Chains A and B, each alone.
Chain A
Amino acid sequence: DQQVKQNSPSLSVQEGRISILNCDYTNSMFDYFLWYKKYPAEGPTFLISISSIKDKNEDGRFTVFLNKSAKHLSLHIVPSQPGDSAVYFCAASPNTGNQFYFGTGTSLTVIP
């Protein structure tokens, strides 16, 4: 059973606007959350992470929000750029820290 879910397989956004990618999880033992970006024929690359003791983490154009009570996190990209077009994976790690569970991915297309 999928413990990390990304319910939107795809998202299209105009260049310069905000992209919001969503992720839900079911396991309350998860306490570290990550976003990865993946281009075709390449491995996933780490983008940003957040610990369960925080509700927000920013890194440049990328911000991750965590709502523990709802078991929901989101990635905001603003402003969106054509180079952001990729598949984005949400991942979660339990407090043992030694495994990562991934969602099914959201394909983001930023339209110039």
Chain B
Amino acid sequence: DAGITQSPRHKVTETGTPVTLRCHQTENHRYMYWYRQDPGHGLRLIHYSYGVKDTDKGEVSDGYSVSRSKTEDFLLTLESATSSQTSVYFCAISDFRGMATEAFFGQGTRLTVV
């Protein structure tokens, strides 16, 4: 299994509070991604990173920010959590270096905003 650790695994938070989810990899892969999984929507890309301090938006980036200060860590921050951000969040990594390759996923973080 790819060395990807997400923390926390479960979190309940109140509407309006900031929340940060962490993804840590030990594979030295260049690309890191944050997805959310919701019924009827599958997996949707929130943000991704292609290197330290290099990030870009995905399909559903509103209300989220990310940071990558080290190769191994990719943080997802909900600035002010809303109930619509209740979801399961997955981090993924990819070693894309010019040839298409697969992404590997973490175990997920279940976030509930009440």
Binding site for B on A (CB under 8 A): 4, 6, 31-32, 34, 36, 41-46, 49, 51, 89, 91, 93, 95, 97-105
Contacts and interface: CB of A to CB of B under 8 A. Distances in A.
Given A43-B108, A103-B42, A93 B100 contact: yes
Interface of B: 4, 31, 33, 35, 40-45, 48, 50, 58, 90, 92, 94, 96, 98-108
A45 B33 contact: no
B99 A97 contact: yes
Contact of A44 (B43, B58, B94): B43
B42 A100 contact: no
Contacts of A93: 100
A93 B99 CA distance: 11
A89 B41 CA distance: 11
Given A42-B107, A42-B108, A43-B90, A102 B102 contact: no
Contact of B96 (A45, A97, A105): A97
